[in-house]
């Protein structure tokens, strides 16, 4: 959600480390005499500590004679005096109340002032005797209780619970079915500002029905339009697994949520992780996150059920290098980029929006509307413990059951990006003969082949008798790197000798294989089965550095044993790294052999899994030839990255072969870019990463002088005077922000090119909702097109406020979701191009690229390769950018248009009304591939 910057507090008082920014609470005047009950509401909770601190920090407002209607009363001051009772209230009293709520003390008052007699504090109508052994503020106390009356009546809501069960052994547990909890309190007495059309009131929260209810209603005080509800934890939580059982609201304009948040009101950067169900469509859930205020990570997930009809579980596993969201115990989406770092509060809220009808739909004022929550848990250990070989059909938080038998393996994934998997793994090392090979075959024509299945090491030898230092908690020994039967084994084991090092003394041994020779640009590949165990890495990489009298250049494929359903990609150039990218494999890499490779070229590195490209980097690419290496090792001092190593030995990674080919994966020249469609000639039908496409001379036969692929699946060559599959839009307007009507006279083929023009308005056409002042030109195909390579030859308009474009589009007018892929040149700066895409209406993927030329001065080629797992954009045949997240799926029409903008001056600059302005196009091609 883009608008969380308005989530603020009206008070940012933080008197103690145990309680962050305190804010106004609503209090009930009433019963007195209960020790600790500073707000006189006949119970002791965190709000009593807060009113004490507020009265001390702002006595004119919250003190005994304060102006606020909920100020501390004389009775409240007497009740709240629980530390050195008899000397009046102080911050120590607030701290004592918190200690009581956390069960670090058993009774109130805690102590008495000198000369003051001990009294017997009044008790509530329900008595409870409790013992506990926990003292950490984040821990849920383990209690043995004898209660004379139920904490809360049983729920009679009869709402089905279709989610997964609560993890009763989590680090922190708030079970609202049992009543109130010291972990949470209700926001009360302030608003967040736009787009939240409500004030937060404690009275909108309730536990009376046997669950927590958060209700939207009219604001009976008249201060705000509506009253909303929010629950938040007193403490802050960091990395771990967060989960709730929730029933959401179904109503336009309303949000039901579960999230973590911290921000400037707590003297922190704005870090946040969101689960938001938009009432306009409760069959979907929106995931998002913010890191230091940077958001735009929205992802809409189809639930497959109506979240307003039953309780379901929603969770997320927040780790330093990824966030994985879960629905009913199943992982459904993972993000890996720019992950939040700052501990935050756990929160839930329900609220109506204002000014965000495009996002939530317009709120119709229906009240009351209620979201319900059964429980919230936080597990510091994350979504699962991978110390043992695990069965991922268990709950994310459950501990695996350890046995001594070997089970069979199944993998049901078919997609690369964010595909959840169901796998069963083993508790004993899989014997070599039982390992399936699910990868692509070895390239027998490669430049260098080391086929360990033959029993030969090829160009490799074993590292022996040294240690790399921190963080490698091992010495390398050749007995840990041996060819056994038809494979290479690299093992983590006990330390074999008394080798020692004064700077770093590892406790274990590891296995490493490396080549004798150095290798440079080309395609590298191996067949590997990785280790599954916390704290361990299985790898394939190139490396050179100071030990070779070279700069530190390295390209990595690393599988972290803590989660073998993912692979980490990275590289270093002259010692500069921080290029980590975590990829979901869609399978468990510890169960079978799969192929892992990378294509290293002067201006990019492309990584491949089982012959399919999964990621590409284009910035600051390594230059120095290195050795090809593989190793298996345990880590030390890197628990936040690998998790703590538990000392299990032996642990073995297996490799069948390694190949290197001294040419790019697509067969082109190392220093030149081919047309993206050239490798797709009919002479080549295989998709292996190492195989060669047609030769350059064959491809050139199909290229006209202007670069057009005349043998593409669809060719519309305007230089012939024909429109091909295109026709002109005519007689309508798109609405805001297009300040034009489309007319066919603005889209005409003239001589050897198509002209799309911005001009004056030609007719008296009008629209009650949007009445543009100008005319624009648009060409679109009759047919719909899907995955493949799209390209045009275009010369753009240079003028503030105007756009020249090439794109695919489909949407509601076609009875489809809004899917779109864009190339847009903004007339305010024609030396740049803006790339973007939308998937089911979710955009915010803008990327601005410097062209290195003025696109208004000459024809240039602009294209994009749209595939199920990525979009790659090209300028003059050279790839300039690639996107992998939430790729569009729906076939669309190919379109170009030229138009002036209105209400978007911050994006396009103001249009000065100059006409005519013309964009020129020579041709458009589409090649299915």
Calculate the average pLDDT of the chain: 82
The reply to whether 225 and 359 lie within a common domain is yes
Least confident stretch, 24-33, 253-262, 313-322, 327-336: 24-33
Query: 432: how many CB neighbours lie within 10 A of its CB?
Result: 14
> Two tokens at 179?
């009543």
The reply to whether 106 and 165 lie within a common domain is no
Query: In this predicted structure, what is the pLDDT of residue 594?
Result: 96
Q: Cβ distance 430 to 406 under 8 Å?
A: yes
Least confident stretch, 159-173, 425-439, 658-672, 741-755: 425-439
| Higher-scoring residue by pLDDT: 899, 501 | 899
pLDDT band at 781 (very low <50, low <70, confident <90, very high): very high
The domain boundary, picked from 661, 689, 710, lies at: 661
| Higher-scoring residue by pLDDT: 425, 355 | 355
pLDDT in tens, 732-764: 888 889 999 899 999 999 989 999 999 988 877
Query: In this predicted structure, what is the pLDDT of residue 225?
Result: 92
> Two tokens at 615?
């990621």
| Confidence check: pLDDT of 405 > 70 | no
Range(s) of the domain holding residue 748: 702-927
What's the full length of the chain, in residues? 929
Least confident stretch, 234-248, 451-465, 765-779, 787-801: 765-779
Query: 745: how many CB neighbours lie within 10 A of its CB?
Result: 12
Q: Cβ distance 789 to 677 under 8 Å?
A: yes
Q: Cβ distance 526 to 655 under 8 Å?
A: yes
The domain boundary, picked from 661, 691, 714, lies at: 661
The reply to whether 334 and 470 lie within a common domain is no
Name every residue whose Cβ is closer than 8 Å to that of residue 281 and which is 6 or more positions away in sequence.
none
The domain boundary, picked from 103, 122, 141, lies at: 122
Helix (H, G, I), strand (E, B) or coil at 639: helix
Residue 276 annotated in active site:
yes
The reply to whether 636 and 707 lie within a common domain is no
Q: Cβ distance 545 to 618 under 8 Å?
A: no
Closest CA to 869 of 855, 887, 853, 857: 887
The answer to whether residue 428 sits within a structural domain is: no
pLDDT band at 498 (very low <50, low <70, confident <90, very high): confident
pLDDT in tens, 599-658: 999 999 999 999 989 999 998 999 999 999 999 999 989 999 999 999 999 999 999 999
Strand partners, 191: 199
The reply to whether 856 and 914 lie within a common domain is yes
Q: Cβ distance 392 to 333 under 8 Å?
A: no
DSSP run (H or E) holding 601: strand 594-601
pLDDT band at 74 (very low <50, low <70, confident <90, very high): confident
* 797-814 average pLDDT score: 95
Strand partners, 616: 606
The answer to whether residue 189 sits within a structural domain is: yes
The answer to whether residue 179 sits within a structural domain is: yes
Cα–Cα distances in Å, from 544 out to 475, 549, 572, 631? 19, 8, 10, 15
Query: In this predicted structure, what is the pLDDT of residue 677?
Result: 52
pLDDT in tens, 178-234: 988 889 999 998 888 889 999 999 999 999 888 999 999 999 888 899 999 999 999
**199-200 and 226-233: which strand pairing?**
parallel
Residue 512 annotated in active site:
no
Burial 288-312 (b: 16+ CB within 10 A, else e): bbbbeeebebbbbbebeeebbeebb
Radius of gyration of the chain (CA): 32
pLDDT in tens, 889-906: 999 999 999 999 999 999
| Higher-scoring residue by pLDDT: 198, 409 | 198
pLDDT band at 384 (very low <50, low <70, confident <90, very high): low
Strand partners, 352: 254
Strand partners, 874: 863, 879
| Higher-scoring residue by pLDDT: 205, 108 | 205
Closest CA to 177 of 218, 145, 212: 212
The reply to whether 755 and 640 lie within a common domain is no
The answer to whether residue 411 sits within a structural domain is: no
With a pLDDT cut of 70, the percent of the chain lying above it is: 82
- SS3 annotation, 210-234: CCEEEEEEECCCCCCCEEEEEEEEC
Q: How far apart are CA 628 and CA 134, in angstroms?
A: 51
Distance of CA 49 to the CA centre of its chain: 36
The reply to whether 211 and 357 lie within a common domain is yes
DSSP string, 848-895: EEE-SS-TTTS-EEEEEEEETTEEEEEETTEEEEEE-SS---S-BEEE
The one catalytic residue in 272, 554, 592, 791 is: 272
The answer to whether residue 596 sits within a structural domain is: yes
| Higher-scoring residue by pLDDT: 146, 96 | 96
The reply to whether 782 and 835 lie within a common domain is yes
Q: How far apart are CA 863 and CA 870, in angstroms?
A: 14
Query: In this predicted structure, what is the pLDDT of residue 6?
Result: 31
Question: What are the backbone dihedrals phi and psi of residue 760, each rounded to the nearest 5 degrees, phi first?
Answer: -65, 165
Query: In this predicted structure, what is the pLDDT of residue 114?
Result: 57
DSSP string, 84-131: SBTS---HHHHHHHHHHHTTSS-SS---B-TTPPP---B--SS-EE--
Query: In this predicted structure, what is the pLDDT of residue 433?
Result: 39
Query: In this predicted structure, what is the pLDDT of residue 608?
Result: 95
Q: How far apart are CA 520 and CA 684, in angstroms?
A: 26
| Confidence check: pLDDT of 53 > 90 | no
> Two tokens at 220?
């009976």
The CATH number of whichever domain residue 70 belongs to comes to 1.10.1330.10
pLDDT in tens, 531-558: 999 999 999 999 999 888 899 999 999 9
Name every residue whose Cβ is closer than 8 Å to that of residue 7 and which is 6 or more positions away in sequence.
192, 196, 261, 263
| Higher-scoring residue by pLDDT: 118, 462 | 462
Name every residue whose Cβ is closer than 8 Å to that of residue 139 and which is 6 or more positions away in sequence.
171, 172
Residue with tokens 């075959």: 441
The reply to whether 734 and 784 lie within a common domain is yes
Query: In this predicted structure, what is the pLDDT of residue 118?
Result: 58
Q: Cβ distance 774 to 760 under 8 Å?
A: yes
pLDDT in tens, 456-493: 999 999 999 888 888 999 989 999 999 998 899 999 99
With a pLDDT cut of 90, the percent of the chain lying above it is: 58
Question: What are the backbone dihedrals phi and psi of residue 403, each rounded to the nearest 5 degrees, phi first?
Answer: -130, 175
The answer to whether residue 5 sits within a structural domain is: yes
Q: Give this prediction's pTM.
A: 0.36
| Confidence check: pLDDT of 878 > 80 | yes
Query: In this predicted structure, what is the pLDDT of residue 115?
Result: 58
Question: What are the backbone dihedrals phi and psi of residue 275, each rounded to the nearest 5 degrees, phi first?
Answer: -125, 115
Q: Cβ distance 289 to 276 under 8 Å?
A: no
> Two tokens at 537?
């890495």
The reply to whether 118 and 161 lie within a common domain is no
pLDDT in tens, 687-722: 333 333 333 333 332 333 468 998 899 999 999 999
- Helices 46-57 and 91-101 cross at an angle (nearest 10°) of 170
Least confident stretch, 334-338, 410-414, 661-665, 824-828: 410-414
Query: In this predicted structure, what is the pLDDT of residue 68?
Result: 83
The reply to whether 639 and 710 lie within a common domain is no
Question: What are the backbone dihedrals phi and psi of residue 240, each rounded to the nearest 5 degrees, phi first?
Answer: 155, -175
The reply to whether 774 and 921 lie within a common domain is yes
> Two tokens at 911?
């249009």
Least confident stretch, 190-204, 347-361, 660-674, 859-873: 660-674
The answer to whether residue 767 sits within a structural domain is: yes
Domain count, the chain: 4
Q: Cβ distance 595 to 610 under 8 Å?
A: yes
Cα–Cα distances in Å, from 349 out to 116, 368, 544, 675? 44, 15, 53, 52
Query: 123: how many CB neighbours lie within 10 A of its CB?
Result: 11
> Two tokens at 72?
């501390």
Q: What single-letter DSSP state applies at residue 586?
A: S
| Confidence check: pLDDT of 876 > 80 | yes
Q: What single-letter DSSP state applies at residue 71?
A: P
| Higher-scoring residue by pLDDT: 412, 46 | 46
* 849-872 average pLDDT score: 94
pLDDT in tens, 305-314: 999 999 999 9
| Confidence check: pLDDT of 429 > 70 | no
The one catalytic residue in 276, 592, 791, 820 is: 276
Closest CA to 704 of 793, 641, 779: 793
The answer to whether residue 427 sits within a structural domain is: no
The CATH number of whichever domain residue 882 belongs to comes to 2.60.120.200
Closest CA to 205 of 182, 176, 164: 176
């Amino acid at each position: 959600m883009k608008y969380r910057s308005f989530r603020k507090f009206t008070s940012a008082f933080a008197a103690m480390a145990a309680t962050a920014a305190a804010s106004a609470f609503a209090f009930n005047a009433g019963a007195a005499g209960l020790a600790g009950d500073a707000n006189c509401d006949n119970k002791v909770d965190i709000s009593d500590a807060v009113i004490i601190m507020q009265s001390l920090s702002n006595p004119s407002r919250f003190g005994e004679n304060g102006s606020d209607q909920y100020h501390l009363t004389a009775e409240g001051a007497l009740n709240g005096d629980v530390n050195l009772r008899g000397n009046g209230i102080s911050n120590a009293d607030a701290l004592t109340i918190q200690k009581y709520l956390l069960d670090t003390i058993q009774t109130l008052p805690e102590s008495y002032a000198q000369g003051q007699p001990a009294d017997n504090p009044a008790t509530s109508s329900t008595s409870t005797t409790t013992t506990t052994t926990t003292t950490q503020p984040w821990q849920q106390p383990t209690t043995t209780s004898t209660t004379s009356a139920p904490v809360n009546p049983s729920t009679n809501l009869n709402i089905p619970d279709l989610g997964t069960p609560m993890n009763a052994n989590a680090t922190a547990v708030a079970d609202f079915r049992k009543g109130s909890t010291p972990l949470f309190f209700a926001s009360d007495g302030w608003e967040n500002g736009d787009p939240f059309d409500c004030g937060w009131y404690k009275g909108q929260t309730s536990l009376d029905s046997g669950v927590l209810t958060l209700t939207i209603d009219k604001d009976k005080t008249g201060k705000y339009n509506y009253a909303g509800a929010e629950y938040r934890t007193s403490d802050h939580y960091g990395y771990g697994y967060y989960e709730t059982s929730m029933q959401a609201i179904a109503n336009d304009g309303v949000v039901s949520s579960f999230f973590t948040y911290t921000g400037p009101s707590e003297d922190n950067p704005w870090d946040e992780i969101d689960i938001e169900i938009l009432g306009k469509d409760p069959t979907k859930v929106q995931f998002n996150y913010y890191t230091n205020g940077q958001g735009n990570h929205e992802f809409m997930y189809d639930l497959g059920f109506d979240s307003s009809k039953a309780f379901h579980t929603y969770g997320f596993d927040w780790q330093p290098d990824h966030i994985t969201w879960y629905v009913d115990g199943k992982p459904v989406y993972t993000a890996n980029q720019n992950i939040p770092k700052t501990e935050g509060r756990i929160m839930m809220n329900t609220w109506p929006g204002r000014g965000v009808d495009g996002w939530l739909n317009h709120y119709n004022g229906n009240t009351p509307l209620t979201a319900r929550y059964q429980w919230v848990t936080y597990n510091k250990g994350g979504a699962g413990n991978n110390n043992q070989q695990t069965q991922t059909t268990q709950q994310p938080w459950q501990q695996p059951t350890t046995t001594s038998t070997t089970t069979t393996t199944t993998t049901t994934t078919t997609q690369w990006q964010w595909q959840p998997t169901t796998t069963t793994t083993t508790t004993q090392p899989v014997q070599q003969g039982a390992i399936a090979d699910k990868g692509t075959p070895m390239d027998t024509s490669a430049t260098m082949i080391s086929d360990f299945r033959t029993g030969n090491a090829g160009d490799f030898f074993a590292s022996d008798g040294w240690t790399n230092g921190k963080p490698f908690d091992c010495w390398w020994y050749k007995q840990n790197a041996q060819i056994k039967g038809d494979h290479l084994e690299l093992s983590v084991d006990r330390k074999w000798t008394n080798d020692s090092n004064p700077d770093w003394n590892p406790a274990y041994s590891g296995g490493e294989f490396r080549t004798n020779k150095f290798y440079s640009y080309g395609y590298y590949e191996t067949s590997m089965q990785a280790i599954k165990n916390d704290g361990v890495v299985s790898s394939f990489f190139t490396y050179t550095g100071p030990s070779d009298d070279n700069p530190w250049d390295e390209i990595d494929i690393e599988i972290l044993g803590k989660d073998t359903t993912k692979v980490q990609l990275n590289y270093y150039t002259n010692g500069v790294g921080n290029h980590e990218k975590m990829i979901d494999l869609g399978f468990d890499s510890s169960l079978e052999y799969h192929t892992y490779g990378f294509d290293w070229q002067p201006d990019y590195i492309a990584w491949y899994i089982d012959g399919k490209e999964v990621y590409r980097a284009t910035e600051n690419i390594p230059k120095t030839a290195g050795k090809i290496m593989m190793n298996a090792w345990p880590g030390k001092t890197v628990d936040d990255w690998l998790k703590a190593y538990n000392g299990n030995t032996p642990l073995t990674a297996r490799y069948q072969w390694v190949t290197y080919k001294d040419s790019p994966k697509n067969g082109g020249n190392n220093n030149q870019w081919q047309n993206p469609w050239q490798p797709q000639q009919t002479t080549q039908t295989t998709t292996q990463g190492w195989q060669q496409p047609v030769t350059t001379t064959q491809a050139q036969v199909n290229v006209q002088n202007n670069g057009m692929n005349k043998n593409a699946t669809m060719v519309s060559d305007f230089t012939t005077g024909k429109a091909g599959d295109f026709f002109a839009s005519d007689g309508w307007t798109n609405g805001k922000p297009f300040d034009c009507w489309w007319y066919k006279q603005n889209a005409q083929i003239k001589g050897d090119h198509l002209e799309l023009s911005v001009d004056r308005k030609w007719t008296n056409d009008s629209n009650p909702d949007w009445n543009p002042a100008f005319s624009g030109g648009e060409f679109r195909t009759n047919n719909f097109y899907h995955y493949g390579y799209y390209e045009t030859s275009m010369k753009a308009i240079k003028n503030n406020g105007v756009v020249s474009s090439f794109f695919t589009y489909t949407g509601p007018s076609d009875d489809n979701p809004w899917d779109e892929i864009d190339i847009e040149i903004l007339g305010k700066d024609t030396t740049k191009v803006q790339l973007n895409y939308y998937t089911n209406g979710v955009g915010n993927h803008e990327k601005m690229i410097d062209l290195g030329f003025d696109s208004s001065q000459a024809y240039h080629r602009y294209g994009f390769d749209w595939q199920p797992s990525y979009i790659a954009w090209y300028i003059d045949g050279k790839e300039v950018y690639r996107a992998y997240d939430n790729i569009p799926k729906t076939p669309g029409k190919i379109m170009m248009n030229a138009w002036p903008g209105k209400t978007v001056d911050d994006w396009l600059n103001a249009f000065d009304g100059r006409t005519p302005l013309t964009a020129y196009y020579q041709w458009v091609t589409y090649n299915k591939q």
